[in-house]
Structure 1
């Protein structure tokens, strides 16, 4: 069994104006090369029925440099990685076709949609000994804010633009972390919009609704953008202001998700959740609230942290979890506006979301052989009232 894994470390870059111009130029050239290689693949298949590979296109890079001297300013391995990136897109396209999924043919990238380039074989001494600079071939030593140390062998070095900011992402091969000790605890979680997470223990995690909080500022910034003339410097500045607001909202949401996921993984051996059709819910009248909560992002982070810690994460069928009584199984249909569940079968009265979380946990436990089936409720029972 492999005892190593890959981990990414992301750091803020502080390039000079000249270096920032070089970084931007590198991105533009990589974007143009990506689009050119995509057109080459399409043309080869359309005219000759031939499928080009990444290796075929990498062999033609010297010819590209001879015809377009500006590409000499870009590291050769960075250009090769562009061909590999396109090849990865095509492999994903064919894999989805084979699986009967929505294929999504690789598309041409606009400047705003191509925001990173990668050094696939960086030097292990890329970061200087004092931790203040990082060496980027063809660009030079760029100031870096090493807010935490990285560990392991550097496998790739990616440079990414987010709004007006630049970041270096070091992907390192590190030893796998030790699994967390067992806690003997299991939990079911119900995802909501008023509260982000409701657990079967009766705990509520508030949903700050970051996008809704920023809506007024976004509206002002968006209207300002719409009034600017296309192609003008003022429009470019207004566009950057809108992007910065959206970036802040995303970071706030990600920070909350990481904290919630980490707490759940540290406290419980088994975490059960609903297998929700989030894409479908994002097309309903609740779309804004669902997207603002970011359930998919939370579940992704939860899955990653659970795997690393050796915890079990189980998704269950979400149907009727909020309508079935967790004690007797009686189905009591209520509208979403009714927040207190009252069972006419056994008389149990409790919060609707806690009842759903208890049902989610109950559905997950039978599929896990090494979990005590008696652990169906927290010792801090959320049941407010019971009957015969």
Structure 2
């Protein structure tokens, strides 16, 4: 499944209709959740039936396409299922009890209620709201995909306009170009990441760089009269700035993850529990700005697309253990240099990256020690050597 995004270009009246569609989708989702709360031991199929009941009870709800109502109900159903799954798995902390939404910004259509033009440059909504025809602004060519491959269309409202996300049921696979290289990645705040080759990637700190402008825009919002048109304009400008920062962060994560995956056949990275780490209020803003979770998600995605092995390893003791002798060298977070009695002296993150690589290889069934093999020999692996090791480990696991 791939998602292609286009900006919707239409008239102001059409955008107001989309806002009504989004509000209706929010109503259906909240009404479904209310029915589940009020009725004990209700079956999920009964929640789907509520969509048709709502359409008869509320005339304006019936304007929304039937499959769009089902998609809105599914949002509540997924939240309920996730809650029960967390309870069953005894997930520590809050279990995520489903909550009512009040600021929904999207509505989803399935395979009906919309129509693409013959040149596939325009999108028309055909349900009771009759939002009309919108021009699709984007660089992707939809002629490569058949109409029946488009399984969902999600309309999203953002600070800078309205967007259509087309969910296309195709498998993305890129040509595999072996490099014969394996790396371990240690993410951090001083550098965005340090790999087992000693290479570092600078931390862009997008939020920190835009913080002064964001504070200025926030002051403008607070000085405007509530409910006034000027306040709405100021809020929109603030939202656009936040949107730009989030897009910068996402773009950096995508490009960095793609570069790491394309340059290596085996990538091991830290499986950090970011929600727990941001509880440290002194580092929460910097950790959130670094977007480690997003980077890990894109590593996994590109690993699947390019047929590379990407493994998340537990981060315990990767910074404390010596990558040369294996002894534990206790150090605080402020200690940035690893110094061991065996004579090894290297950067803390570099040491952790080497440990992450060894952990990842062991997790994949490849027993390798940087002590005996040597760091330079890992980089000098030929294509055949690396693939023979990975193939041998796969055959042992299947036997």
Q: Structure 1-normalised TM-score?
A: 0.87
Match of 2:169, SS state, is strand
Q: CA deviation at 1:297?
A: 0.9
Where in structure 2 are the equivalents of 1:271-350 lying within 5 Å?
A: 271-284=267-280, 285-345=282-342, 347-350=343-346
User: Quick check: 1:122–1:157 contact (8 Å CA) kept in 2?
Assistant: no
CA distance in 1, matches of 2:95, 2:118: 46
Q: CA deviation at 1:63?
A: 4.5
User: Quick check: 2:67–2:112 contact (8 Å CA) kept in 1?
Assistant: no
Could you tell which deviates more after superposition, 295-304 or 329-338? 329-338
The equivalent position to 1:51 in structure 2, one of 31, 42, 50, is: 42
The equivalent position to 1:148 in structure 2, one of 132, 140, 146, is: 140
Q: Which residue of 2 aligns with 1:127?
A: 116
Where in structure 2 are the equivalents of 1:35-184 lying within 5 Å?
A: 35-45=30-40, 50-53=41-44, 55-101=45-91, 102-110=94-102, 112=103, 114-122=104-112, 126-137=115-126, 138-150=130-142, 151-152=144-145, 153-178=149-174, 180-184=176-180
User: Quick check: 2:270–2:312 contact (8 Å CA) kept in 1?
Assistant: yes
Q: Which residue of 1 aligns with 2:396?
A: none
Q: Which residue of 1 aligns with 2:397?
A: none
Q: CA deviation at 1:16?
A: 1.2
CA distance in 2, matches of 1:192, 1:34: 39
The question of 1:185 aligning with 2:181 is answered yes
The equivalent position to 2:12 in structure 1, one of 11, 17, 22, is: 17
CA distance in 1, matches of 2:236, 2:31: 28
Match of 2:95, SS state, is coil
Q: CA deviation at 1:198?
A: 0.7
Residues 291-334 of structure 1: CA distance to partner in whole angstroms, max 9, x if unpaired? 11011111111111112222222222323322332112233334
Match of 1:329, SS state, is coil
The question of 1:224 aligning with 2:220 is answered yes
Distance 1:372 1:327, change over 3 A: closer
Match of 2:310, SS state, is strand
User: What is the alpha-carbon root mean square deviation over aligned residues?
Assistant: 2.4
CA distance in 2, matches of 1:62, 1:70: 13
CA distance in 2, matches of 1:51, 1:281: 37
Distance 1:314 1:66, change over 3 A: closer
The question of 1:208 aligning with 2:204 is answered yes
User: Quick check: 1:188–1:272 contact (8 Å CA) kept in 2?
Assistant: yes
User: Quick check: 2:261–2:299 contact (8 Å CA) kept in 1?
Assistant: yes
Q: CA deviation at 1:219?
A: 0.8
CA distance in 2, matches of 1:330, 1:233: 64
- Name stretches of at least 5 consecutive residues in structure 2 with no aligned partner: 380-399
CA distance in 1, matches of 2:54, 2:276: 45
CA distance in 1, matches of 2:275, 2:175: 33
CA distance in 2, matches of 1:288, 1:266: 30
The question of 1:29 aligning with 2:24 is answered yes
- Name stretches of at least 5 consecutive residues in structure 1 with no aligned partner: 1-5, 382-388
Match of 2:116, SS state, is coil
Distance 1:316 1:83, change over 3 A: closer
Match of 2:168, SS state, is strand
Instruction: Give the structure with the higher percent helix.
Output: 2
CA distance in 2, matches of 1:332, 1:105: 42
Q: Which residue of 2 aligns with 1:198?
A: 194
CA distance in 1, matches of 2:47, 2:84: 19
Residues 56-90 of structure 1: CA distance to partner in whole angstroms, max 9, x if unpaired? 34444455344433234322221222222222221
CA distance in 1, matches of 2:302, 2:116: 28
Distance 1:9 1:122, change over 3 A: farther
Q: Structure 2-normalised TM-score?
A: 0.84
Could you tell which deviates more after superposition, 61-70 or 167-176? 61-70
